[in-house]
Amino acid sequence: MKDTHTKPMIVIDQVVKKFGSFTALHGISAEIREGEFFSLLGPSGCGKTTLLRVIAGFEPPTKGKVAIGGKDMSGIPANSRPTNMVFQSYAIFPHLNVEENVGYGLKTRKMSKADIARDVAEVLKLVDMESYGKRKAHELSGGQRQRVALARALVMRPEVILLDEPLSALDKKLRDQMQVELRSLQRSIGITFILVTHDQEEALIMSDRIAVMFDGRIEQLDTPEGLYRRPVNRRVASFIGVMNFLPAKVLGVTDQHVKLDIAALGQIDVPRHDIDPAFDIEAVDTIGVRPEMFTLLADADDTAQMKVQGEVVDSEYYGDMTYYSVRLAGHDTPVTISMRNTAGRSVVPPGSQVTVGWGADSIVVFKE
């Protein structure tokens, strides 16, 4: 990641949010940098929307505070904050055309007609909707309505755009396209974006950094790559992509390596530099291996650090990739292995006996 965004734009300090006796946010602290595409990711009910609403000023925190651009926002109402929210339903006024929808907020600022027309034209161009100015909401596709909603937020020139599941109502193809568009738009205008999503793929594709939330807490705040390669616990590991877990025992620790016994599979030395120094190594009881870190070996392949026999139980063909379910010798629960379908490699049918290779540098360690 280019690390140009170092200035904090939003500082969230020990924010607690209670609804009656229920605590939705348990003392959240985080800094969101200027110009950053930041995502709040987590399962339904983990508190993402609540945190976004606290930042926006729609919900006062029960304790703690939020500062934006160096200013404490306590007591400052939503419409006086330098933020603008794009909602999930992207509700745009049905009786107004696109230009009127986008210019609506500026009218309430009592700008002149000419200035409004200029600003509206500018943002419609930015979202690639300049030829749709006279259309009504019902004459637009879902993706176009989404762009109008975004234009309506952008035209107010906020310092931060808040997006609450903005793409969830779109079909998969359009969503994929809008993810890329939104990301490149954010890069080109350089405004800080905060996205709420429960879709890990969406968060990985779009974000500079992601806060993974469970039960009203941030469990890990990291880059997409950091989350994928170095998840701090099993819950995060399972939420971001697929992770295979295998029971392990620590046999010894040196300055360089941790020697692990992987149940029924043998011993392996995991490099110390792959493990967070703060991690209690002695407590390791599980390893995690991503599907692409296993390989189905051809007979002649001798480069893998570890090899184990297995049986293909099932396969799922995705065109470019095949996902295999493979039962490793001595293990009841099959592991998931992904293989790229390169030319000349045919799909291995269920029931086949295979040799599986993997290496110590592909391992993440966990404790209960």
Residues forming contacts to ligand ATP in the complex (CB under 6 A) are 19, 22, 24, 42, 44-50, 198
Of 307, 300, 299, 346, residue with least CA distance to 324: 346
Cβ 204 to ligand ATP, closest distance in Å? 17
Separation between Cα atoms, residue 39 and residue 50, nearest integer Å: 14
- Which residues neighbour 211 within 8 Å (Cβ) at sequence distance 6 or greater? 30, 38, 39, 40, 41, 218, 220, 221
Cβ 254 to ligand ATP, closest distance in Å? 43
Cβ 45 to ligand ATP, closest distance in Å? 4
Nearer to ligand ATP, 48 or 331 (CB): 48
Cβ 236 to ligand ATP, closest distance in Å? 15
Nearer to ligand ATP, 119 or 164 (CB): 164
Nearer to ligand ATP, 19 or 87 (CB): 19
Q: What is the DSSP string of 122-154?
A: HHHHHTT-GGGTT-BGGGS-HHHHHHHHHHHHH
Separation between Cα atoms, residue 294 and residue 355, nearest integer Å: 10
Nearer to ligand ATP, 49 or 97 (CB): 49
Separation between Cα atoms, residue 253 and residue 310, nearest integer Å: 29
Nearer to ligand ATP, 8 or 64 (CB): 64
Angle at 292 between CA 288 and CA 297, to 5 degrees: 110
- Which residues neighbour 249 within 8 Å (Cβ) at sequence distance 6 or greater? 260, 261, 263, 285
Cβ 122 to ligand ATP, closest distance in Å? 32
